[in-house]
Amino acid sequence: MPTQLWRTRELLRVLTVRRLRTQVSRDELVRVRRGVYAPQVCDDEDELRALLLCLPEGAMLAMQSAARRHGFGVLREALVHVQLPPQVAKPRLPGLVVHHSVLPARPVLVNGLPCVPAAQCAVDLARGGRRMDALPVLDAALRSGAVTEDDLLAELALHRGLRGVRQARELVPRADGRAECRQESQLRLLLLDAGLPAPEPQMWVYDECGLPRFRIDLGYRERRVGVEYDGLSHLDRDRLRHDRDRINWLDANGWRMRYFTDRDLYRRPTHILTTLRTALTRKSNRT
């Protein structure tokens, strides 16, 4: 259950100023934010609720802050993003980023917190973020189930003429909810932007009995080429054993696997493209 929060004016109906200060000094009341108190120390969600109490009517969580509540918060940021109606002045509070939107939106309550609707939030981030961050947001939004492709396409129509909508319009058709992490989405976008064929995300490889044996981050089934992004999780000893079994099985079954890390993705993308172009033009070891 959320912690009870009171504004100063509500407490002063039953307490004197002196009594209020005494209870705060004795930790009988906790000052969460200026003008907002609670009976105990608050968690992050309660602190957000306290912040919203300090904002004008109509405020709702937006951008990364709303995306995290909707289940596709792949972009991390300590600042809190909120949206206000365009006619409302932007308050200046520490740790707060205020956005004005010309698009009307009814807030959606997520665990009691008012948020910009999921489809609008996803398209806002796709319009306003870096291209390499925008596709991971759209992929994660689809994967979370918070939106469908039709939801995103319908939302795009409402953003016509707004800044960054061209980028969002290019990326929404490329979004795929099968991607499982931000780097996989970024790697796929790198390949698509370079004109390489679209790889299949999280592609299952089947054994001779037609049973799913292993899954590949990105794959080209007809060419029997697989692409893997190796993050920190692959350094785990048990994961390493599993990876070695998989590598040996795939190699024995005619698959050419190519593995990349954060250094390749962020510092030498040309190496990735050259490596994969070569792999895709070679004949398969198995017909």
User: Residue 105 and residue 74: Cα distance in Å, rounded?
Assistant: 23
State whether the Cα torsion 155-156-159-160 is positive or negative: negative
Check residue 137 and give its pLDDT: 97
The pTM score is 0.87
CATH topology of domain 182-281: Endonuclease; Chain A (3.40.960)
**In the chain, where are the structural domains located?**
1-43, 55-174, 182-281
pLDDT at residue 180, rounded to an integer = 93
pLDDT of residue 287: 45
Which contacts qualify for 191-199: CB closer than 8 Å, 24 or more apart? 191/218, 191/227, 191/272, 191/273, 191/276, 194/273, 196/273, 196/276, 196/277, 196/280, 197/280, 198/174, 199/227
CA-nearest of 278, 255, 274 to 264 is 274
Single-letter code of the amino acid located at 286: R
- CA-CA distance, 177 to 130, in Å (whole number)? 19
Distance CA 32, CA 50 (A): 7
Written as tens digits, the pLDDT of the chain (287 aa) is 678 899 998 999 999 999 999 999 999 999 998 889 999 988 888 888 899 988 988 899 999 999 999 999 998 888 999 999 888 888 888 889 999 988 888 899 998 899 999 999 999 999 999 999 999 999 999 999 999 999 999 999 999 999 999 999 999 999 999 999 999 999 999 999 999 999 999 999 999 999 999 999 999 999 999 999 987 665 667 777 888 888 999 999 999 999 999 999 999 999 999 999 999 998 655 54
Q: What is the pLDDT of residue 235?
A: 60
Distances in Å between the alpha carbon of 233 and those of 83, 205, 236, 263, 268?
36, 21, 6, 16, 21
